[in-house]
């Protein structure tokens, strides 16, 4: 074999090797919460992205938190490229160096030219996160389990005498402590002032004690509507979109109690050390543009985070139901709403969660 042939062979081998690397790089792994919510992302984000860019989006589910992300980053074996996180985790993970910083200038402007940084709602862009949706945790019930008067307020969730039955509650102190205080008479606007004191936390746990014997805890978002359907509980805390999905696509006669809803944000965050950063940033920018933000609301009742997307919210893609009345931010639903205080939980979650876990174990 002459020198030219050797060079050509080496060059060909090099191109082939690069081709293998490129093929592997033409996919990303997006991690979210599963069920109807992930389905909405598949339809509104993943499938259009794959069609436009030819980059495969592999979908995985998790139950939230930073533990799995921390393990990957600290071990140097990052296999998740982008993760759907709650706001408190986006802030805390960024502070702890678990997420990549995101330059917001990569985000597309609104159709009228308004820069993305002005089009996103306040606090929906963070150093390491790009907001996707406004969602809320609510109380839902099965009216068939109440022969007389029906529950309608947060106080009724904690009133097992007049509204009997088991209660389903997320295995997490966030929202549960806020609801305990609201049920105990604290105005929504004073909840975090109260929780910021030792006496306030004690008060919340005392209220939780009042229904502890009737509590069944859940972790995955798909569980609450199933718990209601199975009549395992008569009332349950849930993500509003999961109950909407059960109502509209599964014809369940469930009712949402919007009183005391705690609303929050979910954001895309990128684990530090991803090997697919370029394609992941492309996905984040695409999936949070105005049209995609509005399209997501065609599949589940979570509100858009871009001002330009709100007027584009229309009807459910499969049933034709008008989505606007089902949004957490609809004025009728928002009267007693409380925004999750992400700063409070970023600063206090570990300590309170330890106490909450000990309380559950008693």
The structural domains of the chain, ordered by start, are 3-134+266-324 (3.40.190.10), 135-264+330-361 (3.40.190.10)
Angle, nearest 10°, between helix axes 87-95 and 342-361?
A: 100
Tokens (6 digits) for 125: 């862009």
pTM across the whole model:
0.76
Distance CA(155)–CA(105), nearest Å, equals 45
Distance CA(267)–CA(253), nearest Å, equals 31
**192-218 pLDDT, tens per residue?**
999 999 999 999 999 999 999 999 999
- Please give the torsion angle defined by the CA atoms of residues 342, 348, 127 and 81, in that order, rounded to the nearest 10 degrees: -100
Evaluate whether 129 touches 102 at the Cβ level (below 8 Å). Answer: yes
Burial class (CB in 10 A: 0-12, 13-18, 19+), 49: buried
**246-296 pLDDT, tens per residue?**
999 899 999 999 999 999 999 999 999 999 999 999 999 999 999 999 999
Output phi, psi for 132, to 5 deg: -120, -50
Evaluate whether 343 touches 187 at the Cβ level (below 8 Å). Answer: no
pLDDT of residue 25: 53
pLDDT of residue 252: 96
Tokens (6 digits) for 120: 């996103």
**Could you give the 3-state DSSP secondary structure of residue 11?**
helix
**Could you give the 3-state DSSP secondary structure of residue 175?**
coil
């Amino acid at each position: 074999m002459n020198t030219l042939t050797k060079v050509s062979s080496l060059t060909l081998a090099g191109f082939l090797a690069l081709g293998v690397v490129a093929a592997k790089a033409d996919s990303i792994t997006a991690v979210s919460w599963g069920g109807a919510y992930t389905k909405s992302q598949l339809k509104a984000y993943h499938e259009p992205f794959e069609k436009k860019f030819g980059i495969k989006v592999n979908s995985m589910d998790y139950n939230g938190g930073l533990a799995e992300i921390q393990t990957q980053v600290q071990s140097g074996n990052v296999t998740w490229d982008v993760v759907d996180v709650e706001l408190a985790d986006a802030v805390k993970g960024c502070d702890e160096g678990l997420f990549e910083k995101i330059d917001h200038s990569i985000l597309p402007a609104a159709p009228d030219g308004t820069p993305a940084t002005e089009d996103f709602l306040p606090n929906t862009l963070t150093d390491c996160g790009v907001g996707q949706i406004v969602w809320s945790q609510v109380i839902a019930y099965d009216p068939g389990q109440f022969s007389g008067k029906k529950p309608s307020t947060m106080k009724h969730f904690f009133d097992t005498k007049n509204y009997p039955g088991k209660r389903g509650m997320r295995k997490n102190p966030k929202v549960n402590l806020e609801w305990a205080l609201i049920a105990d008479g604290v105005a929504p606007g004073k909840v975090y002032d109260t929780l910021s004191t030792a006496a306030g936390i004690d008060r919340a746990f005392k209220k939780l004690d009042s229904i502890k014997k009737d509590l069944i805890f859940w972790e995955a978002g798909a569980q609450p509507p199933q718990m209601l359907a199975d009549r395992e509980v008569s009332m349950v805390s849930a993500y509003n979109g999961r109950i909407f999905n059960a109502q509209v696509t599964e014809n369940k006669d469930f009712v949402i109690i919007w009183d005391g809803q705690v609303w929050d944000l979910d954001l895309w965050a990128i684990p530090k050390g991803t090997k697919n950063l370029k394609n992941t940033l492309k996905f984040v920018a695409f999936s949070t543009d105005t049209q995609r933000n509005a399209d997501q609301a065609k599949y589940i009742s979570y509100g858009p985070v871009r001002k330009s997307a709100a007027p584009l919210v229309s009807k459910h893609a499969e049933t034709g139901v008008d989505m606007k009345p089902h949004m957490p931010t609809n004025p009728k639903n928002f009267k007693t709403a409380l925004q999750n205080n992400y700063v409070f939980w970023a600063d206090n979650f570990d300590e309170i969660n330890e106490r909450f876990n000990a309380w559950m174990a008693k």
